[in-house]
Amino acid sequence: MIEDILKKEKEEVKLQKLSPNFYSDLLGYIENLKSKIETKEGFEKKVLQRELRVIKTKFSELLALRVGKIVSLKDQNFMPEEEKVFKEISELIKKYKKTLFAETVPRTLKVRLKEDLPEIVGPDLKIYGPFKKGEDVELPTDVGILLIKNGLGIKGE
């Protein structure tokens, strides 16, 4: 879908007509991919992460092309009302870019601890704990993964 649109946008000088729901549909698809990534593991997760990166790259390229075409109009002696519309479009594009490039990895991870743990210092230099065996805790993702890999906890729900 996006590959064809990107190709056509590259080939033509004018902005290409897109479906009215193009951005919202694409962002919905990206959000769906992000949700799937959170629930998958191993090879399947890596495939989905790669797909997400490819789509983000192509979307970013498409936005850059379209913004470039729009910006080339900037020197066209806009009327004040037209200038206002131009600025609103620019802000909307920034919003979509921000949504597109939001983190795909959750910032925290729920972990059920298998044993008592003393205070630990996270990579953010914050102190976490002490913790009791069986306790469910929400930790920065990298700390949670480290505890799970070292057999000190299991992924919580």
79 in the same domain as 11: yes
> Alpha helix locations (H) across the chain?
2-11, 22-39, 42-71, 80-100, 141-149
118 in the same domain as 83: no
Kindly list the distances between the CA atom of residue 100 and the CA atoms of 51, 57, 97, 107, 116, in Å, as whole numbers in the listed order: 14, 10, 5, 17, 40
Last residue of a domain, one of 82, 100, 118: 100
User: Is the pLDDT score of 71 beyond 80?
Assistant: no
Domain that holds residue 67: 2-100
CB 134, CB 112: distance < 8 Å: yes
40 in the same domain as 11: yes
79 in the same domain as 129: no
pLDDT for position 102: 61
Q: Which range among 5-9, 22-26, 85-89, 147-151 shows the weakest confidence by mean pLDDT?
A: 85-89
What is the total count of domains within the chain? 2
90 in the same domain as 19: yes
- Give me the CATH number covering residue 137: 3.40.5.50
| Choice between 74 and 111, residue whose per-residue pLDDT is larger | 111
CB 33, CB 105: distance < 8 Å: no
CB 22, CB 77: distance < 8 Å: no
Last residue of a domain, one of 100, 121, 147: 100
- Give me the CATH number covering residue 92: 1.20.58.1030
91 in the same domain as 14: yes
Write the pLDDT tens digit of every residue in 77-113.
677 777 787 778 777 777 766 666 665 556 788 999 9
pLDDT for position 106: 62
pTM for the model stands at 0.51
Interatomic CA distance for residues 33 and 50, integer angstroms: 10
Interatomic CA distance for residues 138 and 135, integer angstroms: 10
Write the pLDDT tens digit of every residue in 20-68.
888 888 888 988 998 899 898 889 999 999 999 899 889 888 887 887 7
148 in the same domain as 74: no
114 in the same domain as 65: no
14 in the same domain as 60: yes
122 in the same domain as 68: no
Average pLDDT for 114-126: 85
Q: Which range among 39-53, 64-78, 120-134 shows the weakest confidence by mean pLDDT?
A: 64-78
66 in the same domain as 126: no
pLDDT for position 81: 78
126 in the same domain as 86: no
∠ CA(153), CA(127), CA(41), 5° rounding?
35
pLDDT for position 74: 61
pLDDT for position 22: 87
